[in-house]
Amino acid sequence: MSTVTNALPLPPLYYLPNDGSYWKADSSGKWIKINEGSAMLEIRAAGFDAKSPADLSEADRCRLDLQTRQNVTYAAPLAGYRAGHYRINESDVLVTESPRPIVPRAGEWPTLRLLFERMFADSTCDQLPYFYGWLKRGIEATRSGHWMPGQALAMAGPINSAKSLTQELITGLLGGRSAKPYLYLTGDTTFNGDLFRAEHLMVEDEAESKDFRARRHFAAGIKGIAVNRNHYCHGKHKQALTLTPIWRLTISLNDDPERLLVLPPLDDDVADKVILLKTQACAMPMPTATPEELEAFKQRLTGELPAFAAFLGAWEIPERLRSPRFGITHFHHPDLVEVLKKAAPEHRLLDLIDLGLDFREHAGLNQHGVDCRAWEGTALELERRLTQEGSPVAREAAKLLSYQTTCGTLLGRLERTPRLDRVASRVVTGQTRWTVRPPANACAPRHRAETRAGDEGEPPRPPAGLALAA
C-alpha cells in the first residue's frame, strides 16, 4: 500500500465469517447485509485503489484486513441493545438494529387506566401496583441497556379479560419486538436464536403441555430468564455463543384448572420469580364490535402509551412492595394459588395414595379401636404398590409417575406443604424412607354397633364406605 493508503482508517464495515457476508450501516443507522462486490465498492469509496501492478491491490489488502481486524461472531438484533459494535463475553458482536421503545411524554391516559382498572379489579387485593412495578422495572432495563433481573409476569383469567391485548401493549413499551419462547422453555427445541432478537418473550395461548417433565423444563426456563445474565444463543446453522440479552417474559392463559396446570409448580425454587395476576372479564372502554371499532380502540390505546410511560417513570414503587433483587416483590393471587394447589401433581399423588392404600391393613389398633398406623417405605416401593396389578389406581398412578424420580419429588413437595403434616422422610443407611400418615377420616373410632357380639378375637369392622381410605 502507498503511504497515503496506509494512513487511511479501515472503512466502517464488519465481516461475518459464518456466511462470508459484510455489514454496513444505512442512512437510518441500521446495519444491512451486503455481498463481497458491494463491500469492494465501499472499500474503493473509502480511498483504496482497486488497480495495482502488484499481486494484491490496495482494495484487496484492505478487504483482508477487514476480515482479520473487523470480524464478528454475531450480526443480528439483540434484545435491549442499540445498533452498534459490542464486546460481549469475549465475543465481538454487531447489533444490527435498535429497539423502538415508546418515548415518554407527559399527558393523560384515561382509556388505558380504565382498561387496567377493570381487568385487574379485585375486592380482596390491589393488583395494580405489582403490574405497574413490574412494567416500570422492565422499561428501565430495556431503555437503559443495562441487564436487570426480572420476574415472569403471568396473567390468568377468562376469555375477554384483555390478557393478549395487554401483552401487545407491553411489547410496545419494551421496544416493539416480541418472540415466542414456549417450545424452547419446555424442551421441545434446542434452537433459540430468534429469541435474542426481541425484548419481550411472550407465551400466549400456545402453552398446552401439562406433562410433569415439560412443567419442570418450563420452571427452569422461567428461572433462567428471571435471574441469569448470560444465555447460550443457538440458532439453526449458526455459530453458538453466549450473549447477555435484556429480556422480560409474560405468560397469558385461561384460569380454568386444566389451563393453569401448564404453569410450573410455585415451589420455593420458582415462587419468587413469578408474579401471578388474576384478570377479570370486562367491558372494553370503547366499542369493539366491528373491525373498524377495534382498530380505533387499539389506536387510542397506542396513542396513550407515551403518557402511560411517563407516569411509570415518575411513579414510585411502594416501600412495602420493594424487592432488593427484582425492584418489585412477587405476588400470587390467592384464588389462582388455590386452584393450582388442588390441581397440583403432588396433591393428585396424595389422592391416589388415599385411594390405593388401605391404611387399616396394618395391625395395631389402639384401645379405642383406632388404626393410626402409617405407611412406611421408599418412593420406589410406594410407586410399585400404587401401580401394581390389582391396584384400584394402577392406571392413574402409572400415568402420573411416568418418570423415574417423580414419586420422590412429589413426596418431597408434600412434606414441605404447610399445615399438611401427613408426609415425612428420614434417611436410614443412606436411603430415604418415607412415612405417609392416613387421612383424618381413616383414623375415625369404630362404632360399637359395628363389632359383632361374641367375636372378641376379631378386629372391628370398618365403617361403611371405608373399604378404601378416601
pLDDT digits (tens, 9 = 90+) for 299-357: 999 999 999 999 999 999 999 999 999 999 999 999 999 888 877 788 889 999 999 98
Cα–Cα distance measured from residue 203 to residue 298, given in angstroms and rounded to the nearest whole number: 21
Q: How many domains does one find in the chain?
A: 3
pLDDT score of 367 more than 60: no
Among the ranges given (150-159, 170-179, 457-466), the one the predictor scored with the smallest mean pLDDT: 457-466
Domain co-membership, 205 together with 228: yes
- Check whether residue 368 and residue 279 sit in a common domain: no
pLDDT tens-digit series, residues 123-139:
999 999 999 999 999 99
431: β partners:
428
Q: Indicate whether 243 and 378 sit together in one domain.
A: no
Average pLDDT of the residues in 103-110:
97
| pLDDT tens digit sequence for 399-433 | 989 888 899 999 998 998 878 889 999 999 999 99
Question: Is 93 inside any structural domain?
Answer: no
pLDDT at 448: 41
Q: What percent of the chain has pLDDT over 70?
A: 87
How many angstroms separate the Cα of 47 from the Cα of each of 9, 37, 39, 60, 355?
A: 10, 16, 13, 12, 84
The pLDDT, as a whole number, for residue 467 is 36
pLDDT-based confidence at residue 469 (cuts at 50, 70, 90): very low
How far apart, in whole angstroms, are the C-alpha atoms of residue 74 and residue 87? 11
Task: Assess whether 269 and 414 both reside in one domain.
Answer: no
Residue 16, strand partner residues:
21
Residues 193, 324 share a domain: yes
pLDDT at 446: 46
The domain that holds 330 is classified in CATH as 3.40.50
Predicted TM-score (pTM) of the model is: 0.80
pLDDT computed for residue 360 by the predictor: 66
Give the mean pLDDT of 30-51: 94
Burial level of 461, CB count in 10 A (0-12/13-18/19+)?
Answer: middle
Whether 281 is covered by a domain: the verdict is yes
Instruction: Specify the pairing of strand 248-253 against strand 327-328.
Output: unpaired
> Residue 455: pLDDT above 60?
no
Task: State whether 373 and 240 are in the same domain.
Answer: no
Are 241 and 371 within one domain?
Answer: no
- Is 283 part of a structural domain of the chain? yes
Q: Same structural domain for residues 336 and 351?
A: no
Q: Looking at the structure, tell me whether residues 42 and 181 fall in a common domain.
A: no
> What pLDDT score was predicted for residue 461?
44
**Which of 15, 45, 71 represents a domain boundary (last residue)?**
71
Note the pLDDT of residue 424: 94
Same-domain pairing of 116 and 253: yes
In a domain, 401, yes or no: yes
Is residue 371 predicted with pLDDT exceeding 80?
Answer: no
* Residue range(s) defining the domain that contains residue 232: 110-340
Q: Which residue has the higher pLDDT, 154 or 462?
A: 154
**315 in the same domain as 206:** yes
Distance CA 194, CA 180 (A): 9
Higher-pLDDT residue of 213 and 320 is: 320
Whether residue 252 is contained in a domain is answered as: yes
Query: 253: pLDDT confidence band, cut at 50, 70 and 90?
Result: very high
| Rg, Å, the chain Cα set | 31
Residues 330 and 360 in one domain: no
